[in-house]
Amino acid sequence: MTRTAKLSFYFIIFIIFGLIGLWMPLLGDDLHWGTYFGSNYFPQGIFLKYDGRYLGDLLVISITKIKPLSFIAYGTFMTLIVFLVQKIRDQIKTPKSLGLVSSSLMTIAILITPKVIFKQILGWHAGFANYVPSVVFPLFMLYLVLKNYDKEIHYYRTVVILIFLASIMAQFFAEHVTLLNCFNSVLVWIFLRKHFGTEFKKILNWILLGNIIGAFFMFINGAYLKILFGKDSYRSVSGSANSDTMFNYLKTQFTPKTLITVGILLLLFSIIVILYSYKMRNIKLRIANLFLLVSGFVVIAPFLVVSPFGSRCMFATYALFSTIVVINIDLLTDAYEKYIFPVFALIALVLGARMDLIARNYGKTFDMQIEYSEYQNTIDSKNQYYLQYQDTHYIWLTTLIQDDPNFAELYVKNNNRNKIPINYYDWVDVQDQLQNKHFANRDDYMKAFNKGILEKVKLIQQKQQK
């Protein structure tokens, strides 16, 4: 019964995040990856001088070209993160009941990720493909450390090989997490290896070797030589006042009051975690808290000098710090697990359903944008009308659709027409008016929709003239 309940819970989580991936629109360079650039990226050797995110790039090409793969990827990696957080908690102390409080809390934490981060992680396929899978290995590493601490566990050769391969492949998603993995494996090897059994000491050596091999193959990519010598027009390691490093980004995106508040909160959070951890007798909890805290700062440290920095770069830190909060709340309320789990699970389900509906709305807008643009390609008009999104709270829209060169290149035949944006509520109102009418085919529907848009534009122009 317990096993069935757990499987059902994780299946629901998989569906929630999978639907977000399926329905979220392709934005910015998502369209770039999903068409000609992605098709030529590996066959023409572009990857040799673009970056070392070989698996991340392969993933973004796959999920922007094949929608079902987007569903699978979003569902798999997000569920895996949630699952690993629960497994880390279970290694610290065996739960008294079902053992899904940390999972439900982590699901909530992901779904309420600050919008500035969310839109570049779940609202942007290219951001997801590099920055979400990369978080898996640091959590997996912590799980292995706790599982093997002061224990002798036997591992089959197949498992050892898979862990070694994972330690290599984990290095091909995001550079800052690649560096974090190397840092963590070295740190664990130096300070904790005496607490491991003979077999895991060997595995730890393989992990360290795998992380170094993966990092080597990532950073020998031709792109990083250009960056190092300042010949890359987009990326740099100069740390100059003009470059888009972390501090410069934060100064331009947030008010001084916000930055000071967040800085104070982070300082207090760090002090509390350190003091609380050293007070605890549970050595595994101490290791977990300090591992996650240090990792959260180390993973973002390269952006002090590396640019460009975007809110997506904060996701690993957010996930690691959230894991600290989630695990400690779970442990503190351990005695009440059977009462609080249904509450947290229900909150996670409601938040997930809400986000699925939001993603669905964005996706329907995107599909209609394409269909209407392609219809306009078949008619004679001096204007090109662009349907706007309801909002951009959860999607990474770098530019308005009428100014998006990727969208225009794919779906606009005549880019010399007057570009006229159509407010979301105006074009949805036209859809509502056509909802109960019968049309022989989709082309007839689009003719009626276009007629409704023209009438809307006419009314708006008349109001403006008055």
What single string gives the DSSP state of each residue in 372-437? HHHHHTTS--SEEEEEPPS--SSS--SS-GGG-HHHHHHH-S-TTSEEEEE-HHHHHHHHHHHTT-
pLDDT tens sequence across 285-318: 999 999 999 999 999 999 998 888 999 999 999 9
Residues of the chain with pLDDT under 70: 1, 238-243, 466
Q: What contacts 126, CB < 8 A, 6 or more positions away?
A: 28, 29, 30, 33, 60, 64
Query: Taking a C-beta distance cutoff of 8 angstroms, is the pair 187, 290 a contact?
Result: no
**Distance between CA 328 and CA 331 in Å, rounded?**
5
Tokens of 136: 């898996």
**Distance between CA 435 and CA 419 in Å, rounded?**
27
- The partner residues of 419 in beta bridges, in order of sequence, read 384
Amino acid at 259: L
Query: Taking a C-beta distance cutoff of 8 angstroms, is the pair 206, 163 a contact?
Result: yes
**Distance between CA 130 and CA 110 in Å, rounded?**
16
**Distance between CA 357 and CA 19 in Å, rounded?**
9
> Does the predicted model carry a pTM greater than 0.85?
yes
CA–CA distances in Å: residue 425 to residues 367, 388, 430? 16, 9, 9
Task: Tell me which residue has tokens 């309320």.
Answer: 333
**Distance between CA 310 and CA 398 in Å, rounded?**
12
**Distance between CA 248 and CA 326 in Å, rounded?**
31
235 three-class SS: coil
**Distance between CA 315 and CA 122 in Å, rounded?**
11
Q: Give the burial class of 72: count Cβ atoms within 10 A of its Cβ; 0-12 exposed, 13-18 middle, 19 or more buried.
A: middle
pLDDT for 466 equals: 65
pLDDT for 239 equals: 56
